[in-house]
Amino acid sequence: VRPGTTLRAGLSLLPRGRTAQPVVAAIELAAGATVGAYRVIERLGEGGMGTVYTVEHKVLGRRHALKVLRPGLVEGERDAADRFLREARAAARIHHANIVDVYDFGHLRDGRPYFVMELLSGESLADRVDRGPLAPSEAIAIIRQLADALAAAHDCGVIHADVTPGNAFLVGDGSVAKLLDFGLAELVGETVRDETNNFVLGTPSYISPEQLLGLAATDRSDQYSLGVVLFELLAGRPPYVNADLRQLCLAHVNAPIPDVMSKFGPLPPKLIDLVTTCLQKSPQARFPGMRAVLAALDEVEQVTDRSGWRRWLSR
């Protein structure tokens, strides 16, 4: 199953790229078009729910990214506009260096919502890991930043609910990581569902067992997904890989946690404990919160300094 595929709790799969007829006649945002206070410079690309453009503020001259809801809504995803608004509001609610900034929100003349956000230059974490495993020191540095971003989100009562390499971005030379795409974000105690079909949404390779079982995502659900990402950064692949969607989901729920040592080679015990704890099937068996994950990362770094693992981690 390719990262970015939309998963539904009944194990029915609908790729994000499938489109239906537009609900309204969509406006074409060509270069030079005006959207509120912004002028369109160029089209950057298209994701699951939105198309992204480079825009420039007509007065200030600053360049930003503008994301607008795609004109072709996927059949059976009529809550797409709500999820798009949720993404903008959740990201704007959290002020953190490792979360993309959202500056403005509005609607095009055709009724589609858009929001204006920070324009980033670099590559997605998914693109980086596609080239192979990361050095442990690099992986830990990235995970620390994402964990810090998630801790800030959780402090604001926001659960990301879809932490994946595709939803993280490495800015510039890759030393700064940004958490993106709060389209499935939810407030504590809520569950993100397709209201038409009562399906739970997420990304199969990274979704937590409790989300697959239809329970509300919590901060510990984000922790599980972050553990999957850390595993993939170190091993070059997620802990569970299966072309059969049902078997992949069952692995998240029932399969033993893969032997970390067999995948990574010799690692400090505290780093192995960190990965293993994040990947526990039961949320109660994981760390009590993202701040505890950050504390565990501190311990990993302290151990590497004392025992000489620092040289190994930096190789």
**DSSP secondary structure code for residue 61 in this structure:** -
- Grade residue 49 by pLDDT with cuts at 50, 70 and 90: confident
pLDDT at 305 over 80: no
Q: Which residue's structure tokens are 């893969």?
A: 258
To 10 degrees, the CA torsion angle through 212, 216, 221, 222? 120
Which helix (DSSP H) or strand (DSSP E) does residue 73 occupy? none
**Per-residue tokens: 72:** 């072709």
Rounded Cα–Cα distance for residues 179 and 294 (Å): 16
- Indicate if the alpha-carbon torsion angle 145, 135, 273, 302 is positive or negative: negative
Catalytic residue among 162, 194, 219, 222: 162
> Are the beta carbons of 77 and 20 closer than 8 angstroms?
no
pLDDT at 35 over 50: yes
Find the mean pLDDT for residues 108-127.
Answer: 93
> Are the beta carbons of 169 and 178 closer than 8 angstroms?
yes
Q: At the topology level of CATH, where does 34-117 sit? A: Phosphorylase Kinase; domain 1 (3.30.200)
pLDDT at 184 over 80: no
| pLDDT tens per residue, range 54-108 | 999 999 999 999 999 887 654 445 577 777 888 888 888 898 999 999 999 999 9
The 3 state secondary structure assigned to 152-213 is HHHHCCEECCCCCHHHEEEECCCCEEEECCCCCCEECCCCCEECCCCEECCCCCCCCHHHHC
> Are the beta carbons of 69 and 113 closer than 8 angstroms?
yes
Can you give the residue ranges of every domain in the chain? 34-117, 122-313
- Grade residue 50 by pLDDT with cuts at 50, 70 and 90: confident
pLDDT of residue 98: 96
| pLDDT tens per residue, range 258-297 | 886 666 667 788 899 999 999 999 999 999 999 999 999 9
Average pLDDT, the chain: 82
Look at strands 38-46 and 34-35 and give their pairing.
antiparallel
> Are the beta carbons of 40 and 66 closer than 8 angstroms?
yes
pLDDT of residue 251: 95
- Assess whether 162 carries a catalytic annotation: yes
pLDDT at 140 over 70: yes
**Per-residue tokens: 152:** 């800030």
pLDDT of residue 274: 96
pLDDT at 203 over 80: yes
Q: Identify the weakest region by mean pLDDT among 95-109, 172-186, 196-210.
A: 196-210
| pLDDT tens per residue, range 1-19 | 334 433 333 333 333 333 3
Domain 122-313 has CATH 2.30.30.60: no
3-state class (DSSP) for residue 107:
strand
pLDDT of residue 83: 79
